[in-house]
Amino acid sequence: MDSNLQNRYSRQILFAGIGEHGQRRLLSSRVVLVGCGALGTAAANLLVRAGVGYLRIIDRDFVEPSNLQRQSLFDESDALESLPKAVAAQRRLRAINSEVAVEGIVADLTPQNAQELLFDHDLILDGTDNFETRFLLNDAAVKFGLPWIYSAVVGSYGVTMTVRPGVTACLACLLNSPSATGSRNLEHDPALLDSTIAPQVEETCDTIGVLASAAGVIASLEAASGIRILVGPPEDATPPAATRLVSFDVWSGDYRAVRVERNPQCTVCVRGEFLHLNGLAQPHVTMCGRDSVQIHEHNRSLDLPTLSRRLSPVALDVRHNDFLLRFRVPPHEITVFADGRAIIKGTRDPALARSLYARYLGA
């Protein structure tokens, strides 16, 4: 390591958990970040300053004024130009650390491009805003044998969990199997679900807001876990048989760490059934008349009155009856049915329709 790099990372090298050997490993590492919003910008900033060798950023969205409150890599000029987030982040990160190779890719991660975009990396980081993409990440990580870190934040609350395929529980284990208690299932136990991932089910940043400080805390935990994986022997990065889902609420100060064990019957990390990666579990999307897309969500029922109350502060003309709810987010009109089905008017782009669905209705 030359003297300039040694000086740049001197305080990090002094840390016993990294040292010069760990810094060398970090400088040769390859990381892919999916999603560059509040979580993604904060995590990317930390990793680039820490000296990862290469960072690929995948994001389909562009910078808007409402992003500036919490997405720390962007400024007013980015919003004024409506720059793609991946492009704006690449520019800013290269200015922060020119020694790091940063590649911004403006794309929507799909089953069709997942292998091309994710393979050949040492670590996958979650900066997404919906479970459709997270399940795709989980499938890809398990199939390719890549560690990844699930993270989510909404309101004042966030969660994160490190996944090492073949060693720890995966995201499917978390959602569909007994947790630390050994008998309760996160999917079917409302009390346990509320304490871990419930805010992501129907509440979103666009309906109940999000604090930048919450994103900062979770991104810091995600970055620290990622650096630990990258610099240390793999066997030391996580406990051998379990991982922990860590949650933190910056408003109340509540912190929890729930032990999550591998599910011996997990369809993903045990049986190798990669439904999301194979495109078999994605919500069915069909064209529906002129400039309309219909989304057929799987196994979901919606509380329309509750959803109406959540949407009223952020959408126009919100109204509902016993059968459907309708609201406008110009130039789009969205009609939602109690079984989770939705019609998005004003677009013929399935990716945009799914994005709007996740943005306002959650996962």
- Coil vs helix vs strand at 176: helix
Query: Which one, of 54, 172, 204, 63, lies nearest residue 122 by Cα?
Result: 54
**What six digits make up the tokens of 349?**
């782009």
Annotation says 205 is catalytic: yes
Between CA 188 and CA 68 the distance in angstroms is 37
Assess whether the previous peptide bond of 65 is cis (omega < 30° from 0). no
Active-site residue, from 36, 170, 205, 266: 205
Strand (E) positions, the chain? 30-34, 54-59, 101-106, 123-126, 148-154, 157-163, 242-249, 255-261, 284-287, 292-296, 316-320, 324-329, 332-337, 342-345
Q: Do residues 294 and 342 make contact, with C-beta atoms less than 8 angstroms apart?
A: yes
**What six digits make up the tokens of 294?**
């219909």
Query: Which one, of 88, 210, 101, 207, lies nearest residue 151 by Cα?
Result: 210
- Edge-first strand listing for the sheet containing 316-320: 284-287, 292-296, 342-345, 332-337, 324-329, 316-320
Between CA 243 and CA 150 the distance in angstroms is 12
Q: Do residues 71 and 37 make contact, with C-beta atoms less than 8 angstroms apart?
A: yes
**What six digits make up the tokens of 271?**
């049986």
Give catalytic residue positions: 205
